Amino acid sequence: EAGVTQFPSHSVIEKGQTVTLRCDPISGHDNLYWYRRVMGKEIKFLLHFVKESKQDESGMPNNRFLAERTGGTYSTLKVQPAELEDSGVYFCASSPEGGGIMNTEAFFGQGTRLTVV
Amino acid sequence: AQRVTQPEKLLSVFKGAPVELKCNYSYSGSPELFWYVQYSRQRLQLLLRHISRESIKGFTADLNKGETSFHLKKPFAQEEDSAMYYCAPPWGNDYKLSFGAGTTVTVRA
- DSSP assignment string, B46-99: EEEEGGGT--BTTBEEEEETTTTEEEEEESS--GGG-EEEEEEPPP-TT-----
CATH of the domain at B33: 2.60.40.10
Q: Which of B52, B86, B104 sits opposite A43 (nearest CB)?
A: B86
What's the domain range around B82?
4-108
Contact assessment for residue B84 and residue B104, using Cβ atoms and an 8 Å cutoff: yes
Determine which of A38, A43, A57 to mutate to test the interface with B (most B C-beta atoms within 10 Å): A43
Interface contacts (A, B; CB < 8 Å): 65
What's the domain range around A24?
5-98+106-116
Contact assessment for residue A117 and residue A10, using Cβ atoms and an 8 Å cutoff: no
pLDDT band at A53 (very low <50, low <70, confident <90, very high): very high
Contact assessment for residue A106 and residue A33, using Cβ atoms and an 8 Å cutoff: yes
Number of structural domains found in chain A: 1
pLDDT at B63: 86
CATH of the domain at A58: 2.60.40.10
CB contact under 8 A, A102 and B97: no
pLDDT tens-digit map of B70-98: 999 999 999 999 999 999 887 666 656 78
Q: How far apart are CA B12 and CA A14, in angstroms?
A: 37
pLDDT tens-digit map of B28-73: 666 678 899 999 989 999 998 876 777 889 999 988 888 889 999 9
